[in-house]
Amino acid sequence: MNSKYFKIDLCGEWTSIIEKYRNSYNGDDGSSSGSSILGSDSVISSIVPGEIHMDLLRNNLISDPYKGEKELLYRWIAESDWRFIKNFDIKKEEWDHINQHFTIAELVCQGIDTIADIVINGQQVARVENMFVEFKFDIKKYLLVDRNKIEVIIYSPERYCKEQSQKYQYQVPEWEYPNGVHHRNFIRKCECHFGWDWGPCFCPMGIYKEIFIQCRTVPLLDKVKITQDHSKYGQDQSVELKIDITLSEILSHDYLSLSIFDPDEKLISSIIVEPKDPSWVKSNNLVTINIEKANLWWPNGYGSQPLYRLETSIVSSKEKSERSIIKTTKYIGLRSIQVDTSKDAFGSKFQIVVNSVPIFAKGSDWIPADHFLTRIEKSTIKHLLSSAKESNMNCLRLWGGGVYETDHFYQLCDKYGLLVWHDFMFGCALYPTNKEFLENVKREVVYQVNRIGHHACIALWCGSNESEQAISEKLWDPIKQCPERYLLDFNKLYIETIQPTLSNTLEGSFFWLSSPSNGVGVWGNTNDDTQGDTHYWAVWHSDMPFTQYLKSKSRFLSEFGFQSLPSCKNLKTVVGANELNITSTEMENRQRSPKPGNVGILKHVGLHFRVPSDFEHFCYVTQILQAISIKTGCEHWRRMKPYCMGTLYWQLNDIWVGPSWSSIEYNGDWKALQYFAKHFYNPLLVSFAEDLDNPDQLEIWITHDYNSFDFMLNGELVIQIYDLSNGLVEKEISSHSFSIETCQHAESSKVLAPLSKSVLFGDLKKHRGHYIILAKLQLARETIESMKTLHISINHSYENVYYPCPFKQLVLKKTKITLSSNGVGIKGQFNFVVESQEAAAVALFVWISTDKDGHFSDNGFTLFKSSTKKITFYPKSKDSSLDITDFKVYSLVDTFM
């Protein structure tokens, strides 16, 4: 046993019982002596980390909460109080060692959800009231030799919120959701646990992170804060790291060791200090390390993502070979980062600047990957984030109604070059501002910013989601009646509490007041097109056509979206076979955005497509519809660069299986939107632009994101009109040569070809429904060589298609498409060829489907006559039994039948 540090792990097997049973579903409010439906004194086998719903499921006491309509039926679980119990032994020799050698024995609770009393050997240790904070308590005086017992009593979050709201002196409004629970704003817990407009309401409870006892004589490395000075980089390519270390107690006999390794694991610098001064238990104890020839970190698509490893240790001697007693490891990406909101001729900019290069943020919004956090696998997070990278995203907005993510999440964002717009966990509500609540928030901000603030991916911190907008637009009656009260409360929470706490905790951090917002102190329309960020919901919530996107002139889009259904395959896992219909009871229960809801999906399908007769094709068409909607907006805003400098669509991922705005389904399958994003977020984009004021005008634009490089983008634009019925080129319009400089201050979006629709189609024999227009960029050889030298990924051609009329009016011909196998490749990848036969017509939105979980290298593409396309399937798990018969293919014409 180490004489300076000893750990007792409390994770694993526990038991749980209902402390107090309540069930509003059957009228039992807990005041009677009624017993649980589990039976009186039922003892449940539990697992920590875990949640009570998952314990009940594991013990076959409930069925899967996600299947069918379970929220109200299982409401009693979150309405009841639960006692979690674990017995553990401290052997006599361990007990003697603890008493003789260790000055501190502390209980470490890395995450308890949420309101809980902690009891050890019958004695109250503490109450915890924030699931976002790690708690530590010195418990040495409570421990016994041999048998010990720890109990964590977790109280109903629903009951707690109701009681706190009733005690408060006035109403604090919030958005409410179908099947949801009210007053979520009175508890520091994941807010979407109480229901949202894309997810369920189960309000999980449990010890959802690790819990252990650490006995020690040495202090802990309470904080290791890192700031970077890039002021000399332009002169000698050096970056100075300033490492601010705070110890929990004075270091009496030991030493502090710091070592930093380059991305190739070569030791750059090693320092040993002897921090015996009492000031080391405070901040501002700086150790400075200079890194020469620094290798900079860049967002995805702008460069590489090298990471330096910083090890900070407490050791017993100055010998470099000495083994660490306590050690922390942080990976550092060297980059400068600012958010530029300076004034310009139009209003104020809003752009993220990395290493002095303005970045066009391409990405989406992130929500929790499951309602039950403990069943989220690391592989799930990796798949979602690698999918974002693969789809050419460089930024995710971590939304404020969920949770601060795991360390693994931020490590992967660093690795993949995904900037994180980080909301604090406040969303779609106002909040109490009594002293206890604000102190709770301060602890949360300090803990979370210290935990994750060093990551290269963190671009900015944002106060909340849509809270400022609620005040600005007086969205709730209490605000209309007393606006000054709620404005003062808003300022107390965000401007007087969160902002200074962030600033004091992390030097140089950027704080954005809310999303959407114009910034701190700039009150008014929070969706002002001339400044700040925008949530643009005119298309979905206001039921406007997709062309409405073309009217938006926003500086930065942090939310906009359009719903689709999951695949029929995935809906079958949670919805009964007789309920697979857009207007069925179960399908309408799954829809949590009542306006416009499933009716809105059906309406837009009818506007653009022929409504399919079978449900599988209907699901497919909703996904193509969603993809076209978001593609329309993203291409428009990318053409507006540098006026607009970001599009983050709502949303990347799903929390369960149901209608939503996601581009990746709950099981990890890509929707059509994710495949489309891979193209419309490509660093080099060719796109069509229509002029709403001049319907005859059609422009072809080129847009690129190569501003961190310096080379000439040369090539040729080819424009062709295809006859859909025979697949032939009806008319080759023209070829345009282009030559574009790509350096930082060069133009990055321009018109290549202004066209007239009447001229394009005027001399054709058939009406416009028989044709599509293909625009294709072909890069010059010297450009390709330059890109290879700079390690820029290359597509040898970049193309886009223009449809001259609604899809339902296109004259499509049945097309024969075949799949042929190239066999199973590395890591279980399955390679095959999609081929259009010689006699075939043009196939639109070709879709390959399978009952296996995974995603393809491409999908939803156009396949021209006598052409082939190589496709790779990436299975969720390795499956050597994959065969070509596991896949089927169809296209838009199959929905016309």
pLDDT tens track for 789-816: 998 888 767 999 999 999 999 999 988 8
Instruction: Name residue 631's amino acid.
Output: K
- Spatial contact of 350 and 341, defined as CB atoms under 8 Å apart: yes
Beta strands of 378-519 (E only): which ranges? 395-398, 419-423, 458-462, 511-512
Residue 111 has pLDDT above 90, yes or no: yes
* Band of residue 603 on the pLDDT scale cut at 50, 70, 90: very high
Question: pLDDT tens digits, residue range 713-751?
Answer: 999 999 999 999 888 888 888 788 888 888 777 677 888
* Between 829 and 601, residue with greater pLDDT: 601
Task: Measure the CA dihedral 494/498/504/509, to 10°.
Answer: -80
Euclidean distance between CA atoms 440 and 501, whole angstroms: 12
- Average pLDDT over all residues of the chain: 92
Residues 6+ apart with CB under 8 A from 296: 233, 303, 306, 334, 335, 355
- Spatial contact of 340 and 353, defined as CB atoms under 8 Å apart: yes
User: What average pLDDT does this structure show over 552-579?
Assistant: 97
Strands 729-741 and 749-756: unpaired
Q: Is the dihedral of CA 73, 75, 81, 87 positive or negative?
A: positive
What SS3 state is found at 552?
coil
Residues 6+ apart with CB under 8 A from 699: 688, 689, 690, 691, 751, 753, 754, 755
Residue closest to 780 by CA, chosen among 797, 792, 766 = 797
Instruction: Name residue 634's amino acid.
Output: C
End-to-end CA gap in the chain: 74
> Would you tell me how many other CB atoms lie within 10 Å of the CB of residue 298?
20
Quote the crossing angle between the two packed helices 378-390 and 407-416, to the nearest 10°: 20
Structure tokens at 375: 């069943």
**pLDDT of the residue at 100:** 84
> Would you tell me how many other CB atoms lie within 10 Å of the CB of residue 387?
22
Question: pLDDT tens digits, residue range 23-36?
Answer: 877 666 655 444 55
Residue 504 has pLDDT above 50, yes or no: yes
Helix boundaries (H) for 640-770:
672-680, 757-762
**pLDDT of the residue at 94:** 87
User: What average pLDDT does this structure show over 45-59?
Assistant: 98
Beta strands of 642-770 (E only): which ranges? 646-649, 684-691, 694-704, 712-723, 729-741, 749-756
**pLDDT of the residue at 878:** 76
Euclidean distance between CA atoms 829 and 69, whole angstroms: 36
| Domains of the chain, first to last | 5-215 (2.60.120.260), 220-332 (2.60.40.10), 684-809 (2.60.40.10), 817-895 (2.60.40.10)
Helix boundaries (H) for 453-547:
467-472, 477-481, 483-490, 499-505
Euclidean distance between CA atoms 409 and 380, whole angstroms: 10
Helices (H) and strands (E) in the chain, counts: 19, 46
What SS3 state is found at 779?
strand
Residue 308 has pLDDT above 60, yes or no: yes
* Band of residue 843 on the pLDDT scale cut at 50, 70, 90: very high
Structure tokens at 445: 């901000």
Question: pLDDT tens digits, residue range 389-417?
Answer: 999 999 999 999 999 999 999 999 999 99
Give percent of the chain above pLDDT 90. 77
User: What average pLDDT does this structure show over 77-96?
Assistant: 94
